[in-house]
Amino acid sequence: MKKVITYGTFDLLHWGHINLLKRAKDLGDYLIVAISSDQFNAIKEKEAYHSFENRKMILEAIRYVDEVIAEDNWEQKVEDVQKHGIDVFVMGDDWDGKFDFLTEYCDVVYLPRTEGISTTKIKTELFEANQ
Ligand code: C2G
């Protein structure tokens, strides 16, 4: 069984996230998603609308996702890859090159980001629409 992992906040889930998750799953047989905890989001200077628990519940409902774990820090990726027997690490290419150190442990794939959608865009447009 080929195992794939990806990391992210996945707040206000949208079709760009789904595109990423679908392509990630297509690279193997089992997809683990490590969702940033609320505490780690603070470190990333991101404030998610949905709590970790609710973002986890939403991701677990997606057909492409087989398991959801917590992402609590920047340093856990090597341990996660080894502990879960990961074959492929996947991220959107806004992270291109940032996780190449993992090539020692698994394949590293950066997939093109989906243009035209982002959580920030959703927040901004909803805010402006309600002025
Ligand atoms: N993504 C995408 N297309 C978009 C928006 C997001 O392909 N239009 C991808 C991102 O490239 C990322 C994933 O969806 O691979 C999750 O995006 P975010 O929730 O914004 O995650 P991020 O804050 O980048 O967290 O340790 C890694 C970090 O936790 C990544």
In tens digits, the chain (131 residues) has pLDDT values of 999 999 999 999 999 999 999 999 999 999 999 999 999 999 999 999 999 999 999 999 999 999 999 999 999 999 999 999 999 999 999 999 999 999 999 999 999 999 999 999 999 999 999 99
Q: Candidates 17, 35, 64: which one to mutate for ligand 1, based on the most atoms within 8 Å of Cβ?
A: 17
Q: Report residue 64 as tokens.
A: 């492409």
Distance CA 10, CA 131 (A): 26
46 as an active site residue: the answer is yes
Q: How far is the CA of 1 from the centre of ligand 1 (A)?
A: 25
Please give the pLDDT value at position 75.
97
Please name the residue whose Cα sits nearest to atom 14 of ligand 1. 17
Distance CA 81, CA 72 (A): 15
44 as an active site residue: the answer is yes
Please give the pLDDT value at position 87.
99
Please give the pLDDT value at position 18.
98
